[in-house]
Amino acid sequence: MSSRMRLGYFLSETASNLRYNGLMTLASIGTVTVSMLVLGAFLLFNLNLKSTINEVSSKTRVCLYLKAEASVAEVDALKRMIEGLDGVYKVDYVSVDKARERLKQDMSGQADLGRIVDTAPLPASLEIEMVDTSKVASLTSVIKGQPAIDEIHYGEDIITTLNMIRRIVQIGGLAAIIILCLVTAFVIANTIRLTVFARRKEIRIMQLVGATDWFINWPFIMEGIFHGLAGSLLAVGIAAAGYAWLVKNWPLTFIFPLAYNEQALLHISIALLAGGVLVGAFGSFSSVRKFLKALA
């Protein structure tokens, strides 16, 4: 039998299998949809968390307050040294006057504070913009102890907290996804088992006339793949529509806008489809194999 004819045979057998168990097929597809939706929600949450961390990181500046007695030459040498370090984008010198000017701007409208600002002992500083915020720790360890530096400040806490949240979400999410995928595979396996049971006489005859296990397996595996694909397609559709609605209606005042990175969203969709297909194939394969082993 040519491979085209064989595929035709497998497809017609698969279609007939699907007809056998209409309700169970729907239940199985529904389970895949729910599981893949949870997986999708997790991936989208992770995408946004990552984009938030990047956003926060990109706004993170390392601020070096300089000692009042530091000479211009010392500050200049320090600036040049920092500019040569890994992960540094730009270094700006903020003089005492400029710092006072900024403070004034920040406090504008509070007239009675103007005099305090004028007399406040503000230090000059170097503001470092990073290309890669993961290098902040190594940067501070290198420059710590430089004679011109009085204090080093950066948004360490918020980045650490966000990274910790991301790690927790990743570990917890991974565990949840594994459990959900196993449950889904189990439901698909049971649905396929019903079809296999309904067709046991046919399978028995196939075995007796010399059909190989693979030949018998294929229509059932394709049925499982169909459950997985249909369920995950539904999940991708629902997730895409839901996320598009959220992006449109998300209040901009809420921390950060939702991430809308087309490539990342495409990757998530592919991950959901692949996940559904794999879970479907695995569920049906395990079910039929067990049955055939018992019969042979």
Partner 1 sequence: MIAFQGVSVVYPNGVTALRNLDLKIEKGDFLFLVGPTGSGKSTILKLIYREEVCTSGRIIVAGKEITGISRRQIPYLRRGIGVVFQDFKLLTRRTAWDNVAFALHVIGVGRTEVKRQTAKALDSVGLLHKADALPTELSAGEQQRVCIARAIVNNPVILVADEPTGNLDPDTSWDIVQLLSRINIKGTTVIMATHDRSIVDRMRKRVIALQNGRLVRDEDKGAYIGEL
- Binding residues for partner 1, rule: CB under 8 A, are 1-2, 5-6, 9, 201-202, 204-213, 215-216, 296
Residue 108 three-state SS = coil
Q: How far is the CB of 11 from partner 1 (least distance, A)?
A: 14
Burial class (CB in 10 A: 0-12, 13-18, 19+), 151: exposed
265 backbone dihedrals φ, ψ, rounded to 5° = -65, -35
d(CA 208, CA 288) in angstroms, rounded, equals: 17
Strand partners, 129: 61, 90
Asked if 37 and 238 count as a contact pair (C-beta separation under 8 A), the reply is yes
Closer by beta carbon to partner 1, 13 or else 223 = 13
Q: How far is the CB of 26 from partner 1 (least distance, A)?
A: 23
Residue 130 three-state SS = strand
Closer by beta carbon to partner 1, 41 or else 206 = 206
Closer by beta carbon to partner 1, 134 or else 212 = 212
Closer by beta carbon to partner 1, 185 or else 216 = 216
Place of tokens 């006057």: 97
Place of tokens 């997790």: 42
Closer by beta carbon to partner 1, 211 or else 270 = 211
- Residue 163 CA from chain centroid, whole number: 13
d(CA 199, CA 20) in angstroms, rounded, equals: 9
Q: How far is the CB of 215 from partner 1 (least distance, A)?
A: 6
CB atoms within 10 A of CB 154: 19
What are the residues whose beta carbons fall under 8 Å from the beta carbon of 171, sequence distance 6 or more?
Answer: none
Closer by beta carbon to partner 1, 212 or else 261 = 212
